[in-house]
Amino acid sequence: MTIKAGDKMPSGSFGVMTDKGPGSITTDELFKGKKVVLFSVPGAFTPTCSAKHLPGFVDKAGDIKAKGIDTIACLAVNDAFVMGAWGKHAAVGDKVLMLADGNATYTRALGLELDASGFGMGTRGQRFALVVDDGVVKNVFIEAPMEFKVSSADNVLANL
């Protein structure tokens, strides 16, 4: 079942790249007592994700955080090494937390997986954004196939 407004975020963990190498962060560490924008891309370094989706959140991070958001996090079905490299390449700094869901475990728990095997990419995450307050989903923005509108930084910001 697909996550919806009012649902509690499922428990789990994500890979992250730290100064000491690959690490992890739990959903409690990410969401408990915080307001979080979690957005998902089908893949690091892919065209729309790299040219529009991630850069939009990097550019609008100050405006989004000014609306009371504690953390902006980017999720992709990639490993922590790829997400770390992509974050460096995109100069996210501390504006966006790069989260790896290497086996799509968390993405499946959200009900937002995507079969991208036709593109040679296997299981990936749909393009979406969630606004989460203390572990409870407040807003859900799921893109139609091949679209990039509702999960954009501009649309999320307009709905905060």
Known catalytic residue at 49: yes
Report the chain's C-alpha Rg in angstroms.
Answer: 14
Using CA atoms, how far apart are residues 36 and 89, in angstroms rounded to an integer? 23
* Residue 85 DSSP SS3: helix
Asked if residues 75 and 39 have their Cβ atoms less than 8 Å apart, the reply is yes
Beta bridge partners of 99: 75
Q: Which of 49, 97, 104, 110 is catalytic?
A: 49
- Residues known to be catalytic: 49
